[in-house]
């Protein structure tokens, strides 16, 4: 994946001769995207995507040896473009990708992308992030913010799971987010 996003691979068969001779089309999120930040931190080892944006609409460019890269505003736009473009690859939140049956999930370092694989099979899929809730100080019991955080910590776990995300504590009680820390 790092070679692809560094720009070293212009056609998929350069990566593996068994793959088709299709141009690599990198469909990315914009630089302010949290999705992109997690991808760069966890998959690209903190490096920026190496290929500059070459196209507004992911159209093929004149240099036939170079990969095409575009930046789109939303995860939904990324998934639509990947589904509609031969040779395209992109990244998104798992929950949105699962709901779009026209895209395939990619294993990274032999680890499968999926809620069950991570939660029950011990998959160490590297492209995942943790959302944190912060407060300035302890919240008063019964306050609106305190009640919300209490809901998220308890009853909200099911809502998180039902929307294609994984709570930090699995149904088995195993901690799934211990290798993540804020700002890491």
42 belongs to a structural domain: yes
* Number of domains comprising the chain: 2
Instruction: Point out the domain boundary residue: 51, 77, 99.
Output: 99
Phi, psi of 90, rounded to the nearest 5 degrees: -150, -170
Q: Name the pTM for this structure.
A: 0.77
Phi, psi of 175, rounded to the nearest 5 degrees: -85, 125
Q: How far apart are CA 91 and CA 28, in angstroms?
A: 7
39 belongs to a structural domain: yes
Same domain, 176 and 93: no
111, 85, 107, 95: which is closest to 28 by C-alpha? 85
Same domain, 90 and 23: yes
Q: Which pLDDT tens digits describe the chain residue by residue (184 residues)?
A: 888 988 889 899 999 999 999 999 999 998 888 889 888 988 888 888 877 777 777 777 667 777 888 899 999 999 999 999 999 999 988 888 888 888 888 888 887 777 777 666 666 777 777 777 788 888 888 899 989 888 887 877 778 777 777 777 665 555 666 665 555 4
Instruction: Point out the domain boundary residue: 55, 84, 99.
Output: 99
Same domain, 53 and 139: no
Same domain, 134 and 173: yes
| Cβ burial, residue 95 (10 Å; 0-12/13-18/19+) | middle
For residue 70, the cross-strand partners are 27
The answer to whether 166 and 160 have CB atoms below 8 angstroms apart is yes
Domain hosting 162: range is 130-184
Same domain, 94 and 7: yes
Per DSSP, which regions of the chain are E strands? 25-29, 68-72, 88-90
The answer to whether 12 and 25 have CB atoms below 8 angstroms apart is no
Query: 87: domain CATH number?
Result: 3.40.190.10
116 belongs to a structural domain: no
57 belongs to a structural domain: yes
Same domain, 72 and 134: no
85 belongs to a structural domain: yes
Same domain, 9 and 60: yes
| Cβ burial, residue 164 (10 Å; 0-12/13-18/19+) | middle
The answer to whether 80 and 86 have CB atoms below 8 angstroms apart is no
What pLDDT was estimated at residue 184? Answer: 46
Q: How far apart are CA 131 and CA 120, in angstroms?
A: 20
Instruction: Point out the domain boundary residue: 54, 81, 99.
Output: 99
């Amino acid at each position: 994946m790092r070679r692809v996003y560094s720009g070293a691979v212009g056609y998929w068969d350069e990566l593996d001769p068994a793959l088709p001779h299709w141009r690599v089309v990198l469909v990315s999120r914009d630089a302010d995207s949290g999705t992109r930040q997690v991808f760069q931190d966890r998959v690209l080892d903190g490096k920026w995507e190496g290929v500059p944006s070459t196209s507004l609409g992911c159209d093929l460019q004149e240099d036939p040896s170079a990969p095409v890269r575009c930046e789109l505003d939303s995860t939904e736009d990324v998934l639509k473009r990947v589904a509609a473009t031969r040779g395209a690859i992109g990244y998104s939140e798992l929950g949105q990708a699962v709901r779009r049956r026209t895209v395939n999930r990619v294993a990274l370092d032999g680890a499968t992308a999926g809620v069950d694989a991570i939660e029950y099979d011990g998959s160490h899929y590297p492209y995942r992030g943790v959302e944190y809730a912060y407060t300035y100080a302890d919240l008063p019991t019964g306050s609106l913010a305190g009640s919300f955080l209490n809901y998220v910590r308890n009853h909200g776990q099911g809502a998180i799971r039902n929307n294609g995300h994984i709570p930090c504590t699995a149904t088995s009680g195993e901690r799934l987010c211990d290798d993540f820390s804020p700002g890491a």
